Chain A
Amino acid sequence: MKYFRTHILISVDESTIRAGVKNFIASLRNHLDKYSLTDEIGILETGSIGFFGKGLCFVVYPENIIYANVTNEDLNEIVTEHFLKGRPVKRLIVEKPERTQYDFNYKKRIVLENSGIINPEDIEEYIGVGGYEAWEKALLEMKSDDIIEVVKESGLRGRGGAGFPTGLKWSFTAPIKAKQKLVVINADEGEPGTFKDRLIMEGDPHKLIEGIAIACYAVGATKAYIYIRGEYKLCIERLRKAIAQANEYGIIGKDIFGSKFCLEIDIKVGAGAYVCGEETALIESMEGNRGTPRSKPPFPGVKGAWQLPTVVNNVETIANIPSIIKNGADWYSAIGPYKSTGTKVYTVLGDVKMPGLTEVEMGTTLRTIINEYGGGMKDGKKFKAALVGGAAGVFLSDELINVNMDYESLKNYSAVLGSGAILVMNDDADIVDMLWSVIRFFRHESCGKCSPCTNGNELLFKLINDIRNGKGKEEDLNKLIQVSEVMVDTCFCALGQSLLMPIKSAIDNFKDDFLKRMN
């Protein structure tokens, strides 16, 4: 192996690609070449290193110096000053308090543990950090029942929003006898303000592959699909590479590790409808039909895609599996509070200093997430509200800023963890506008299958639009709640049932904002 005195870890993800990282790396190489540094300084293209909204950024090891907002014009200075003369360019370094969000609680990172550290396009790097050990252990040393038992004991719950215990889900499908069973990974990340799955897949695609392999073995599936939204171009590219590499290394494919177990993993690209995040709509879409939900029961675990037993899991859920198998259920269940074990990846957005992604222990308070991981409120403004859990989430006021972010605690306040999106709003924010855009989103994404959702969303939008335009009456607030309550009980799938939470919490907690529009 080649020895480099210095490593540059550069974030290559969807956002930096848009900022021109490919071009930047080419010119970095040119500069290194010019000063004959190519043999001394290695460039490593990694997933997101945990910086958001800071343009192109990279980490220099062993100094552990982070450069952000770098442009091509700065390259000459960095190369000549830092790499040649050993004098870091101070003006471009990100100072201590604004360290990457990933650095916090470093030991508690599970799904993002390799993101920003290894080259996601190289299977050897993943193997080098202990990757596929869990898969080997599972396949060669464990029975499928043991794996399910470990996952059950770990307390892992689905990270897609509903929080269904993963081990339990698997245990429904495992005993079913069928000519083929399927595992489908829901990578149709459609919740507004959420991009955790994207960064997991971009930063560490092999972790997902490993998790899939273990899940398939546990439930007896020989075929897995990753249903991924079409916009995630880089994820698709990296997953395709990862699958090809894993096949090449005999990690998946036929007769894996001489165990006779065979597994094929394929990618299905979705067209981006929000409703296709609902597992049965996702299955319909996979089959090539209109993405509309199916009646349950039969549940997908019994009769799913092409009528085969199908386990549908979220990306983040599956990315937890390798660590659980490797370190054991006790290790995992010790993280986070009872009934909400492990870590959760949040996207903290809006009026905070450091919007971005962070993986923290379950049960961390909302205040901690906003203030420490989100860097606190931007421009010294006051916190007003947070929309927690995505568009289908809840508007929390400052009274609940100390709530523990886990399934059980949030349930007490009729709130949900959802996709882990936390949209923070300061005093300037208007909740009517926010609710308007939430409802507009749902109206746009309703699939049109059932009439309560189709008509309900249109009606809700008409009502909120009138309120927003100053044409509303106070009784319209009751109508908003009434319609969304009817939708909870009568809509066919979770999409239409979700609106009550944002609507009711917005009206209950921020009624003044609505009344202001009515004078």
Chain B
Amino acid sequence: MTKLIKVSIDGLEVEVPDGTTILDAAKKAKKYIPTLCYHPDLKPTANCGLCVVEFENMDATKRACSTPAWEGMKVITNSNKLRKLRKSLLELILSNHDVACPTCDQNNKCELQDLANLFNVDDSIFPKILKKRPLDLDSFSIVRDSNKCISCGRCLIVCQEIQTVYALTEGGRGFDKVITTSFDKGMYDSPCVNCGQCTVYCPVGALREKNHKDFVWEALLDKSKYVVVQEAPAIRATLGEEFGMNPEEVTVGKMYAALHKLGFDRVFDTNFSADLTIMEEGTELITRIATGGTLPLITSCCPGWVSFMETYFPKRAENTSTCKSPQQMFGTLVKTYFAEKEKIDPANIVSVSIMPCTAKKFELARPEMKDSGYQDVDYVLTTREFIKMIKEAGIDFATLDEQKADNLMGAYTGAGTIFGATGGVMEAAIRTAYFVLVGKELDDLDIKAVRGMTGIKEATLTIPTKDFGEIKLNVVVAHGLSNARQVMEWVESGEKDYHFIEIMACPGGCVGGGGQPYGSSIADRARRGISLYKEDKDLPKRCSHQNPDVNKCYEDFLGKPNSEKAHKLLHTNYFERSKLNGEIIREITHKH
């Protein structure tokens, strides 16, 4: 057990384990120390200096975020000297910051803005030293604005250590240091997988998503366009917290109502295609097991993971499910199945999806995603953009009457909704695979071993199949790309033997996606995941094969899972990408 040490924070004595930082000790004493570069989810970079504290028994200032407390230390968290230092530091930062608050995407959610306001900072004390650099608009998903960057270093830790993508790095030195890609190119010319975690953790709006909101408004207000919308499961678990409601509740009905109010012609649900994905992917898994196909099978719902796999583990393309992601399955069906049913010219359909994700903006632009004959999905709004749209339209979200999704592609089961949390795809797939293999439903549909925020979750399931006797299924769930990398290394070295692997690029799964509200912490993500499992529990149908709209779609249009038509419309192929700049090197799997 770690030794406990006694420390005094502003005269208040607390006991903390040896190795605790001064900041955490102060938290224990309920003392506030202002921070800027620090984020509780990330290891401290100690760059900004705002958290400096003084000591009663020592003439020194130290950073609270990165200095371990020691026995007998007497910390002073606030004094005239410290206030003056903190204020001057903020003034220094502002002298090198593009202070464009009213037009900034992160206005009112900006950590620098908050602090500057709290400390009554006058940004004209020091002359402006900002050297303007052009915006990086190259990427399909992410905009990089170096003029707002305060070099806190959070994005670097996220990109390099949590995601192990290494798209972002440091270039230049001293005042000319800039957070950029290798060779100082645009984000498009980097191994960036578009996960957008950097945007979530950026405190000042220097990294944000590429805006599709204006295009969507344009389509909505264009009478000649038929605008269809789908929403990812994670959205309903997030909206409540943003509109001052109970953050633990999902807000499906109000979400549909808001979408109708915004003027979408048809409001469907990505959960429908999540169920569809399970039918396709589950069938693929069973086929691979039955026919001795390539195992383990790895999920393909997450476009961040797919890019990561194509860049860093291209040999694993043969393991990756050929299924498109739910968003892309949905997009294809809207412009084929739905258009056919409703007799609408697909050329006039604008397909919009609302996603907790920035990588979806990249996914929709992948050149192969045109199986409907058109671009399958036209625009992706992140959760943040969607929230802004609701506010822009003056909709009072909290008081909306609940509505239902529209028919045909709106019904969903509990299996679809848990797609939004890490382990959800795995759990949904097991529920249906069990049914198909055994011929009856699982007794207990809750598969707790694959839930929760542990980075890598392994389980072995015993399934008494009707055709090949009892089989043992080794499954693993990884979220956060550093965990995915670990699992892939185990697979490649043969150290572990799995049958089925679920991977989500973002920590926490889609509820922690790169398009989720700024500053989403691990705690926020965990809570949203729990909300989705709660919704699942309360739904009358909890397995994908029970989804009436999915079954109808097979009957009327696709035939059966993994049919030729399903393969043509709902499955895809992969490429090998350059680790240097993400460029496509070659096609690595082919469409059947």
Contact = CB atoms under 8 A, between A and B. Distances in A.
A451 B126 contact: no
The interface residues of chain A, by DSSP majority, are classed as helix
A479 interface: yes
Given A456-B92, A459-B95, A462-B127, A273 B173 contact: yes
A333 interface: no
A455 B92 contact: yes
Interface in B56-103: 61, 63, 66-68, 81, 85, 88-89, 92-93, 95-96
B174 A446 contact: yes
B468 interface: no
Interface stretch (A24-32, A54-62, A95-103, A488-496): A488-496
B172 interface: yes
Nearest to B92: A455
A492 B88 CA distance: 16
Range of interface residues on A (Cβ < 8 Å):
20 to 34
Nearest to A293: B46
Nearest to A297: B68
A445 B174 CA distance: 7
Contacts of B152: 451
The interface residues of chain B, by DSSP majority, are classed as loop
Contact of B127 (A290, A451, A459): A459
A448 B46 contact: no
Given A448-B170, A490-B52, A458 B175 contact: yes
Contact of A490 (B49, B67, B175): B49
B544 interface: no
A451 B85 contact: no
A486 B66 contact: no
Contacts of B150: 451
Interface string A444-469: 11111111101111110011000000
Contact of B177 (A448, A482, A491): A448
Contacts of B177: 447-449, 454
A229 B152 CA distance: 29
A492 B175 CA distance: 15
B176 A483 contact: no
Contacts of B173: 273, 446-448
A105 B62 CA distance: 44
Given A457-B175, A459-B129, A486 B92 contact: yes
A519 interface: no
Contacts of A454: 96, 151, 174-175, 177
Nearest to A466: B127
A451 to B, nearest CB: 5
Given A459-B129, A489-B61, A489-B85, A451 B174 contact: no
B46 A459 contact: no
A482 B175 contact: no
A483 B175 contact: no
Contacts of A444: 174
B578 interface: no
A443 interface: yes
A459 B88 CA distance: 12
Interface in B379-424: none
B183 to A, nearest CB: 16
Interface in A147-164: none
Interface in A196-226: none
Contact of A455 (B46, B68, B85, B129): B129
Contact of A449 (B47, B52, B127): B47
Given A448-B151, A451-B47, A489-B52, A457 B92 contact: no
Interface in A338-393: none
Contacts of B433: none
A467 to B, nearest CB: 12
A295 interface: yes
B228 interface: no
A376 B140 CA distance: 68
A295 B46 contact: yes
B88 A483 contact: yes
A273 B92 CA distance: 24
B305 to A, nearest CB: 28
Q: Which of B49, B88, B89, B96 has the most CB of A within 10 A?
A: B49
Contacts of B172: 448
A38 B152 CA distance: 67
Contacts of B89: 451-452, 486, 490
Contacts of A458: 96, 129, 174-175
A295 B47 CA distance: 10
B129 A451 contact: no
Contacts of A462: 127, 129
Interface string A242-273: 00000000000000000000000000000001
Interface in A413-464: 443-452, 454-459, 462-463
A450 B68 contact: no
Nearest to A446: B174
B48 interface: yes
A490 B95 contact: no
B111 to A, nearest CB: 14
Q: Which of A451, A459, A462, A483 has the most CB of B within 10 A?
A: A451
Nearest to A292: B170
Contacts of A486: 85, 88-89, 92
Nearest to B153: A449
Contacts of B68: 297
A443 B175 contact: yes
Given A455-B92, A490-B52, A492-B46, A447 B85 contact: no
A491 B174 CA distance: 13
Interface string A474-509: 000001001100100111100000000000000000
B175 A455 contact: yes
Nearest to B50: A490
B258 to A, nearest CB: 40
Nearest to A491: B49
B48 A483 contact: no
Interface in B124-168: 126-127, 129, 150-153
A450 B46 CA distance: 7
Contacts of A452: 48-49, 89, 92
Nearest to B94: A455
B34 to A, nearest CB: 13
Interface string A296-323: 0100000000000000000000000000
A457 B95 CA distance: 12
A462 B152 CA distance: 23
Contacts of B126: 459, 479, 483
Contacts of A297: 67-68
Nearest to A496: B49
Nearest to A489: B61
A164 to B, nearest CB: 15
Contacts of A491: 49
A454 B85 CA distance: 16
A62 to B, nearest CB: 53
B261 to A, nearest CB: 44
Contacts of B153: 449
8 contacts: A295-B66, A446-B174, A448-B174, A448-B177, A449-B153, A452-B89, A455-B92, A458-B96
Given A449-B177, A455-B96, 16 more contacts: A273-B173, A295-B63, A443-B174, A447-B177, A448-B151, A448-B174, A448-B175, A450-B48, A451-B47, A451-B92, A451-B93, A451-B151, A454-B96, A458-B174, A463-B127, A479-B126
- When A and B form their complex, which 6 residue pairs have the shortest distance between CB atoms, in order from nearest? A448-B177, A490-B49, A446-B174, A458-B175, A489-B61, A486-B88
Interface of A: 273, 290, 295, 297, 443-452, 454-459, 462-463, 479, 482-483, 486, 489-492
